[in-house]
A and B are shown apart, each in its own frame.
Chain A
Amino acid sequence: MKKLFAGAVALVSLTVTSTVMANETITVTGSNSMSSLMEVLAETYTVKTGNFVEVQGPGSSAGIRAANEGVSMLGMASRIVQDDEIKENVHTVAMARDAIAVAVNPANGVSNLSVEQVADIYRGEITNWADVGGAKSPIVVITRDSASGTRAGFESTLGLTRKINGIKVSAIYPRAQVANGNGMVKTTVAHNVYAIGYISLGTVDESVQALSINDVAPSVATIQTGEYPIARPFTLLYRDDAPAAAMAYMNWILSDEGQAIVARKGYVPVK
């Protein structure tokens, strides 16, 4: 018993000293979709420098609020942040971009859609390819399961959400077929001439055709310039008075090393 107690004391002191040993704790709060990428970055950074990074992902709005009020050293927002949303001493910087390709069967014939057309197809308001310049055949709409991050990104960039009893829910047509993964969307679209689906840009291959949106083809270049519309920036927010450790972390994310991790996780680097 005594031994156990001594062991516990030793263990506690060990964890205490290890936190003391880490120079500083950097707090990052915000977007849920960004938190998985941020956690990977944080782990690498902790191993590299010994500075501990605490990541919380309650949502983009919470991230903007946290940065405004200085509750968190850095804020995360997985969307464009308007100037009137932030205080004068808060600045934004894009750390990555998340792009979604709208894919059809290569034999489909349609190669370009407008943002509104894509949104209407997913709302179930356009149901025939003839309405968007294709063959006269019904559209088979493929979506992702409601827990998917790609779906969340797709819905938020296209405004495919609505409110029921004050709770934000998806506005995607319930008759849309649901595939449980980028791979399954791709397989279904590759086998069905009438199908349309959306997948993370990194997973597009020759079995499907990625559509141009508003006449802009998705590519790393058009995503970096912001021309390709179904993409969202992963924005970091920081205050003028942010601690040096947090600024160092942010600069590391924007460095080649950080951006390489961004690319490896399937997002488009900003540089």
Chain B
Amino acid sequence: MFMTNVPQAFKRTSGSSLSRQGGIVSRRRELTEILFQGLFMLSAFIGVLSLGLIGFFVFKEAAPAIEFSGIGGLVAGTDWLPPALYGILPMIVASLLSTSLAVITGVPVGIMAAIFLAEVAPPLVVKIMRPAVELLAGIPSVVYGFFGLVVIVPLIEQVFGVPSGSTILAASIVLAIMILPTVITVSETSLRAVPNQYKEGSLALGASKVYTTFFVQLPAARSGILTGVILGIARAVGETMAIIMVMGNAPAMPEGVLDSARSMTANIALEMSYATGIHSSALYATGVVLLVFIMLLNATLMYLNRQTSK
């Protein structure tokens, strides 16, 4: 019944449209345009809406803990003793310390690797190295964590003679490796996007290759490189599983990089499954602090980028 109906309907429309084909086609095209514009808008709003919803719910869930301990008790408290004290300062310090160490070691290596791939390496080497770097980005974080646990942690025990290698340093090394692919690929792409005339002009003026790379090409690609760094930092701050496996997770204030510590993300992941009431709310509050930190970080870097490009 369906099969017979369809051709008839088709015939009817095709017969009448023949005379005013142009009008219908353009109207149809218009409709498609509107439809797709709506679809694009909807898609864009889903992203923004998700951000808004996540922000709203995290804040809403965190409210009881903020009421219980006060913002000062949470952000400046040094003792994490649920269900009485919910100080997350040690975790803020641990997150900042491990991330900044990872950025300090990982970013220069990443940028120099990008320079190598974009400027120095012969095409054959690039062909092998680039997929290798991209593969590094695809390794799940639990595998990085396992690698850290069986390789880096014992190595730190031997090199520094500490009783336990589960330290901030171990986490920083793992994080530095984890942010490498992001920094390398984004930096390389932006270095390659720098117009060749810049390089040629600089070399023609008698500048050395190294000078040209550092003072002409790098500044020109700065915006893209900074994006890579921001993405890398975001990954490092947000990393959870690998950190849980190598940092020891002690909730005490770390006294140095060879101390065990707990990051904010680890705090949430470790205790979420069982926490109830204010304890659970305090974990959401940890999430709020994390969210605020990432926002501040992004805003600062974006601002810096705009300032220096003026």
Taking the complex as formed, is A1 at the interface, i.e. its CB lies under 8 A from any CB of chain B? no
List 12 additional contacts besides A169-B82, A174-B251, A194-B163; criterion CB under 8 Å. Answer: A145-B249, A145-B270, A145-B274, A146-B82, A148-B274, A174-B81, A174-B252, A177-B164, A177-B250, A178-B249, A187-B149, A191-B150
Q: Give 1 or 0 for each of A77-107: 1 = CB within 8 Å of chain B CB.
A: 0000000000000000000000000000000
Which 10 A-B residue pairs are closest in the complex by CB-CB distance? Answer: A147-B274, A174-B252, A178-B249, A177-B248, A167-B84, A164-B84, A169-B81, A140-B164, A138-B163, A194-B163
Taking the complex as formed, is B33 at the interface, i.e. its CB lies under 8 A from any CB of chain A? no
Taking the complex as formed, is B83 at the interface, i.e. its CB lies under 8 A from any CB of chain A? yes
Q: Which residue of A lies closest to B154 (CB)?
A: A191
**Could you tell me if A195 and B164 are in contact, using CB atoms closer than 8 angstroms?**
yes
| CB contact list, A153-186 vs B, under 8 A | 164-165, 167-170, 174-180, 184
| CB contact list, B131-184 vs A, under 8 A | 149-150, 153-154, 157, 163-164, 166
Interface residue tally on B, bucketed by range: 20 to 34
Given A174-B251, A176-B250, A147 and B271 contact (CB-CB distance below 8 Å): yes
Taking the complex as formed, is A108 at the interface, i.e. its CB lies under 8 A from any CB of chain B? no
**Could you tell me if A146 and B164 are in contact, using CB atoms closer than 8 angstroms?**
no
Q: Which residue of B lies closest to A129 (CB)?
A: B163
Contacts of A180 in B (CB 8 A): 244, 249, 269-270
With the chains together, A174 CA to B75 CA distance in Å? 18
With the chains together, A145 CA to B271 CA distance in Å? 7
With the chains together, A170 CA to B79 CA distance in Å? 11
Taking the complex as formed, is A192 at the interface, i.e. its CB lies under 8 A from any CB of chain B? yes
Partner of A147, one of B85, B252, B262, B273: B273
**Could you tell me if A169 and B84 are in contact, using CB atoms closer than 8 angstroms?**
yes
Given A164-B81, A169-B84, A177-B260, A140 and B163 contact (CB-CB distance below 8 Å): yes
With the chains together, A39 CA to B270 CA distance in Å? 25
Interface residue tally on A, bucketed by range: 20 to 34
Taking the complex as formed, is A209 at the interface, i.e. its CB lies under 8 A from any CB of chain B? no
With the chains together, A167 CA to B82 CA distance in Å? 9
| CB contact list, B235-269 vs A, under 8 A | 244-245, 248-252, 259-260, 262, 269
User: What are 13 residue pairs bridging A and B, where the CB atoms are less than 8 Å apart in the complex?
Assistant: A137-B163, A146-B271, A167-B84, A168-B84, A169-B82, A174-B251, A178-B251, A178-B270, A179-B249, A180-B269, A184-B245, A192-B157, A192-B163
With the chains together, A217 CA to B225 CA distance in Å? 60
Taking the complex as formed, is B80 at the interface, i.e. its CB lies under 8 A from any CB of chain A? yes
Partner of B166, one of A139, A167, A170, A188: A188
Contacts of A192 in B (CB 8 A): 157, 163-164
**Could you tell me if A175 and B260 are in contact, using CB atoms closer than 8 angstroms?**
yes
